[in-house]
A and B are shown apart, each in its own frame.
Chain A
């Protein structure tokens, strides 16, 4: 057997390599740097790694290659845009993760045990969360650029495993946090199994694990469509699980609520970008010629996701659960960009992903600010009158809610407008109508929260708002500014996306 050494384009892969390198150094830091210095070193290291990776992504924009890694990965416009979005979201999420109040001092200790108390008194911190984040980010960076099924699966696991762990690290309500981590892990494994099963069927259908091979088989036809349909369905289940579309959404509320809020912010925003990035590539290239079979089904999933997400959000009394259901509805909105299956749909989905991701991190960042003596307060009833006590937090949250609702002058409006018009171009009238109607339903609820914050008097045991750390405040401000700028003057970003977003096959 002859082995040839693989030819790699290091420049094009540099963002991923930098991230993996940073993560490995992070592991070494855990081992060799003293406890007191670790938080600062880890934060600096992670931030530096992410910034450097972002810089590299910026430098390789406009470059295209089908073979940066022997045909297993691809670098093109959408890849750069998705990777850049993930990195920007990760950077502002890192500021939230730096808030040590959120994490348990000793993840291995039983909740409420003596060890836990000792660790707390000793001032321990789980700084492991930084390298875990970097590993997750590298998985997310590979996921949307993978061009064969094995690579896709590896990336899926690399991004998922750290998240399962991180979900269980909450300092308060540790049992709920651990429960959510376990749920996420079990259900994620279940979905991964579907995913792998689907990959096997697709191999059976086409005799190839590369996207180009499968695509050629879809175009040419192999006379065995049953294998294609089952493979496609199972693969889709794996992806739809990650984005939290109905009926594969059931983990979302529990995990979003249980996980430490900074992790929820990161997970909700970045995972969605990565998973939709991969879906865009798969549906726009590999399965594009089988659209007759999947468009009706994905449309149906989009519709029930939008409706169920919006309706159930109304009944929520917990702000994190509400945001979780909102994210389910947004998965439906984003699916209409997949259904559009045209250039404007691609542009719109990428814009929407970025805008939504930023607003989501901002929204959860505000949630981390609203606290009383026993930690975060997520009961909406205790958010009454927040506008008077903490105008900064309340107005920022109002802005993000308006963006979720798609009110003009926020990024959400431009995103919804462009994604629905793209879907409409492709004849997805039912999806667009449902989308607009469920946006209206959702807007009702978002605005009710705004009313609650600004026009309702506070209850007696009103929620204290802690003075935010500079980093959290920075996250909120950056997210708010991006949300506003994308709403008022989106043209440069839209043009940038339009120029770059072309898949190469």
Chain B
């Protein structure tokens, strides 16, 4: 492995930015946002430089590592703080710093009226640094540090406007649900350490062959719980919609492009565990399939533009999880979809932010309409992202999503059919709800509130949107041309039983996918473009719509299954605590304090008593030794 000593700058730069902005306080108000943007951009520069160095090295020498310091060394337990930059992490590094920098630039303008803009940028830098640590850590424990760091940054940014109680609640909800996932990660680390004696990626990979499948399945399932928490996958998905309370650039960066994909990173990074634990792998696929349908169905009923996009994110990550669960074939496609999704979804979120910016922060799409003429650049960039997510050739999503659908069919047998059809239906529903968003927002009649004066956003905002739009157009082609990404990632994934013949010809799959998409678009067109849309949500809707509007009852479910029993449990525990534990504790305290005969009686302040205690102790000690000896 190549030893580098410059990897740490990737993380150190944004971390320094966050530290300066937070510690120096108001003094940096004037230029803090510029510093943060510069730090993020420099980190991107370092990333590009690392990529060039990496390309110069022969394939087997490409991964680079850097040992930072010996972190913990107690007895048998030894963990170094080390970084690992390989073909997989560099993809993430460039996505995080690249998209991150664009969103920094966008936020300069978007947040310009906020008096806490400096704090916002400090948190953004903190997020970038934590996310980079997450993807660069060379062991599960180092990853865990970054994992918690992004959780913290996410919490701080969702609740950035915490003067509104609802937003503060949303950030708490995200935080608490993420804790469930984090427990999974810590259990996975503990099981790995208990069974393999190591928590580094290299160490675990070496130990896999000597570890029982049961242990590997347990680790895999726990990693999946972690991934589900962070990536808003079923059944830990409920926080993502509420997370839209954060400022829109945050939704674009953290809750669309990067952090929520950390779960997919975790699963692909742990490919050696999942390859050896088929049961866990199957559960990954099932979770992915359920989530992609779940998200898509919620997306059809949302009138809030950000929540519709959030549901879509959930669904698209479902695609990635599903692909990652399909084994060695799927990992590269999961990553490819992750990258293209990073471009088009971040672009659309920024577009949504641009629309909100022009419409007095209105998020209800029923109050939009006909914005195409007023916001031409936003319309075009959003539209390119729309074409990309639908999977229309030659836009990015076509390449990445089609590959996942093909791989799903290739799984073979009933599994292949079920997964293939699920992904196809998902694609159709995606087309429906995204078309709905386009029509409600940009075409049709004006349904604005009285004082709305829509206008195009300043260049600082539309420039990042335009750059992301270029990515939405071209990234799919660039990554899949000559299987570029697959070959790039090839050394990391085990391809022994790879490249079987396709069960269904790719061209047929593409045809089916496009047909399904066309159906979705057509339904949306007839339902929303050919009829007048009311500016309030109709009440006389089918039960299905009602259920979908309530996020498929996910909150009701959580309340009924977890919250109420949880509350009952805590009530019981508190009662038990007060009666039994406190009682015992107080009882002991009582013994100590008031019974007079026992402990307090002994601590009576008289030297003679103390001396007597020592004497009795001495006799007891001799007696004890006597007993031990004889």
**Chain A interface residues (CB < 8 Å from chain B):** 182-183, 186-187, 190-191, 194, 225, 229-230, 232-234, 236-237, 241, 246-248, 250-251, 253-254, 292-294, 296-297, 300-301, 308, 311-312, 314-315, 344, 414, 417-418, 421-422, 425, 441, 444, 489-492, 494-495
B614 touches A315 (CB 8 A): no
B482 at the interface (CB under 8 A from A): no
- Tell me which residues across on chain B come within 8 A of A248, comparing CB atoms: 613-614, 617
Complex contacts, B593 vs chain A, CB 8 Å: 315
Residues of chain B within 8 A (CB-CB) of A246 are 617
User: A495 CA to B71 CA in the complex, in Å?
Assistant: 11
Which residue of B74, B605, B616, B620 is within 8 Å of A421 (Cβ)? B74
As a 0/1 sequence over residues 605 to 618 of chain B, the CB contacts with chain A under 8 angstroms (1 = contact) are 10101110110111
A421-B74, A421-B75, A489-B71 known; A182-B607 Cβ under 8 A: yes
A interface footprint on B587-630 (CB within 8 Å = 1, 0 otherwise): 01100110000010011010101110110111011101110110
**B72, B589, B611, B626: which contacts A190 (Cβ < 8 A)?**
B611
Contact B625 A187 (CB under 8 A): no
Task: Given A183-B610, A225-B629, A294-B625, output 15 extra A-B contacts at Cβ < 8 Å.
Answer: A187-B607, A187-B610, A194-B614, A233-B621, A247-B613, A250-B614, A297-B624, A300-B624, A417-B74, A421-B74, A489-B69, A489-B71, A491-B72, A494-B74, A495-B70
Contact B617 A233, beta carbon cutoff 8 Å: no
Interface size class of B (residues with CB under 8 A): 20 to 34
The answer to whether B628 touches A296, judged by C-beta atoms less than 8 angstroms apart, is: yes
Interchain CA distance A414-B618 in the complex, whole Å: 33
User: Which residues of B are found within 8 Å of A253, using beta-carbon distances?
Assistant: 603
Interface centre among A183, A253, A312, A417, by most chain B C-beta atoms within 10 angstroms, is A312
Tally of A-B Cβ pairs under 8 angstroms: 103
Task: Pick the contact of A422: B75, B603, B624 (CB < 8 A).
Answer: B75
Distance of A62 Cα from B585 Cα, bound (Å): 48
Asked if B603 contacts A250 (CB within 8 A), the reply is: yes
Q: Which residue of B lies closest to A418 (CB)?
A: B74
Do most interface residues of chain A lie in helix, strand or loop, or is the interface mixed? helix
- B73, CB-defined interface residue at 8 Å: yes
Knowing A296-B628, A421-B74 are in contact, say whether A315-B592 is a contact too (CB < 8 A): yes
In the bound complex, residues from chain B placing their C-beta under 8 Å from that of A494 are: 73-74
Residue of A308, A311, A344, A491 ringed by the most chain B CB atoms within 10 A: A491
Q: Is the CB of B625 within 8 A of A491?
A: no
Establish whether residues B603 and A229, one from each chain, have CB atoms under 8 Å apart when the complex forms: no
CA distance A441 to B589 in the complex (A): 12
**In the bound complex, CA of A232 to CA of B71 (Å):** 41
Q: Are A183 and B607 in contact (CB under 8 A)?
A: yes
Given A187-B607, A241-B614, A250-B614: A233 in contact with B622 (beta carbons within 8 A)? yes
Are B588's CB and A314's CB within 8 A? yes
- B interface, CB within 8 angstroms of A: 69-75, 585, 588-589, 592-593, 599, 602-603, 605, 607, 609-611, 613-614, 616-618, 620-622, 624-626, 628-629
Q: Top 9 A-B pairs ranked by shortest CB distance? A: A247-B617, A315-B589, A250-B610, A491-B70, A315-B592, A297-B624, A296-B628, A312-B592, A418-B74
List the A residue with the shortest CB-CB distance to B626: A229
Taking a contact as CB atoms closer than 8 A, the residue among B71, B605, B628 that contacts A254 in the complex is B605
Contact across chains for A297 and B628 when beta carbons are under 8 A apart: yes
Q: CA A34 – CA B621 in complex, angstroms?
A: 53
> Of A241, A247, A296, which is in contact with the most chain B CB atoms at under 10 Å from its CB?
A247
Q: A251 and B610 in contact (CB under 8 A), knowing A225-B629, A297-B628, A311-B592?
A: yes
Evaluate whether A293 and B71 lie within 8 angstroms (CB atoms) in the complex, with A182-B607, A187-B611, A247-B620 already known.
no
Complex interface: chain A residues within 8 A of B71 (CB): 489, 491
CB < 8 Å: which of B72, B74, B602, B617 contacts A237?
A: B617
A336 nearest CB across to chain B (Å) = 14
Q: Chain B: which residue is nearest A315 at the CB level?
A: B589
CA distance in complex: A285, B47 (Å): 57
- Nearest Cβ in chain B — how far from A13, in angstroms? 34
**Which residue of chain B has the shortest Cβ distance to A184 in the bound complex?**
B607
| Given known A-B contacts A190-B611, A494-B73, A236 and B621 have beta carbons under 8 A apart | yes
Q: Which residue of A lies closest to B624 (CB)?
A: A297
Offer 15 A-B interface pairs, CB within 8 angstroms, sorted by A. Answer: A182-B607, A183-B607, A190-B611, A232-B625, A233-B622, A241-B614, A247-B614, A248-B614, A250-B613, A250-B614, A296-B624, A297-B625, A315-B588, A414-B74, A495-B73
Closest to A185 in B: B607
CB-CB under 8 A from B610, the residues of chain A are 183, 187, 250-251
Contacting residues, chain A, for B618 (C-beta < 8 A): 194, 233-234, 237
Alpha-carbon separation in the docked complex, A246 to B618 (Å) = 11
How far, in angstroms, from A444 to B609 measured CA to CA in the complex? 31
Chain A's closest residue to B72 (CB) is A491
Q: A248 CA to B628 CA in the complex, in Å?
A: 21
Query: CB-nearest residue of chain A relative to B76?
Result: A421
Do B607 and A312 touch across chains, with their CB atoms under 8 A apart? no
Residue of A nearest to B71 (CB): A491
Give chain A residues whose Cβ lies under 8 Å from the Cβ of B629.
225, 229, 293
- Smallest Cβ-Cβ distance to A414: which chain B residue: B74
Given contacts A312-B599, A344-B75, A491-B73, contact A187 B622 (CB under 8 A): no
Residues of B within 8 A of A425 (CB): 75
A427 to chain B, nearest CB (A): 15
B592 touches A230 (CB 8 A): no
